[in-house]
Amino acid sequence: MLPNHSPLSIAEQFGTLATLHPGRIDLGLGRAPGSDQAAARAMRADARASERFPQDVLELQGFLSEHSIVEGVAATPGQGTNVPLYILGSSLFGARLAAALGLPFAFASHFAPAALLQAVAIYRDEFQPSAQLGAPYVIAAVNAVVADTESAAAEQLLQATRLRVARFLVPDLELSDEDADALIASPQGRQITSMMRYTACGSPEQVGEYLHEFAKHAHADELIVAHSSPTLEARLRSVDLLAQLAGLAA
C-alpha cells in the first residue's frame, strides 16, 4: 500500500525482493493505510495521501520499469524489475483506477460485500489493456471457516462472530456468550455481521462447493480466502483442510 510510503521507497524495497527472488514477487496497492486509526497515527499516515494515490501508482510503475516519470530519479534496485502491480480496493474508486491503468483488481468483499458486484462490473466494462495485462483479471476475497465437521465449523464461526462484534463495539469489555449474542442481535451488531456476508463455513467439501459458487457469483478469476476461525490453532487447521481439498498440502 502506498499512503504511508513514497513510491520511490516502495520501488526500491520491492525491487530488492524481485532481484533476490526473480519472478516470485508481486505488489498489491491500496489507498487506505491498511489498519485502524491508532496504527495509522503511529505510522504518521497523512490523511490527504489517498488523494495522491493515482499519481503515486503511476510514479511507482515508472520506477519499476525502465522509464521513470520523475526526471533524474531512478529506483536502485527496482528499475527494470517490472514487479507486477495489483490494485486492492473496497470501493468503486479502486475498480475504476484498476480499469484505467489496465491492472488486476482485488476486491475486499470479505468485509465490504455490498459493492462487490458493481465494482467488478465497472472494472470489466471500463478495462483498458496495458503492457502488464491484456484482459480484466478479478480477485475477490471471501471469509472461510473450515473444520472437520459442519457442526464444529458452525461453532467456530459463532465464536468468531462474537469476538468480532465485541472488538468493534465494546473493545475494552469481556462479555459472556449471552451478552455477546445480545450485542450481535442489536442494530449495530447486525451491521457488523452483514460485513461477513460472504463467508464459507463447514466441512472441506461444503466450503469447496461454496467457494466454487462464490467465484461464479463474483465473476472472479481468483479468490483470496481469509480464514476467520477464532483461534490460531483452528485457523491453521482451516488452512490445512482447504489446502488438502485443493491438492496443495505438502
Query: Following DSSP, what letter does each residue of the chain receive, concatenated?
Result: --TTS-HHHHHHHHHHHHHHSTTS--EEE-SS-SS-HHHHHHTT--TTGGGGHHHHHHHHHHHHSS--SSTT---TTTTT----EEEEESSHHHHHHHHHHT--EEE-TTT-GGGHHHHHHHHHHH----SS-SS--EEEEEEEEE-SSHHHHHHHHHHHHHHHHHHHH-TT----HHHHHHHHHSHHHHHHHHTT-SEEEESHHHHHHHHHHHHHHHT-SEEEEEE--SSHHHHHHHHHHHHHHTT---
Q: What is the pLDDT of residue 25?
A: 95
Q: What is the pTM of this model?
A: 0.88
Q: What is the pLDDT of residue 49?
A: 64
> CATH number of the domain at 7-140, please?
3.20.20.30
pLDDT tens-place values along the chain, 250 residues long: 555 679 999 999 999 999 999 999 999 999 876 656 666 666 555 666 667 899 999 999 999 999 999 989 999 999 999 999 999 999 999 999 999 999 999 999 999 999 999 999 999 999 999 999 999 999 999 999 999 999 999 999 999 999 999 999 999 888 999 999 999 999 999 999 999 999 999 999 999 999 999 999 999 999 999 999 999 999 999 999 999 998 886 5
Sequence ranges of the chain with CATH classification 3.20.20.30: 7-140
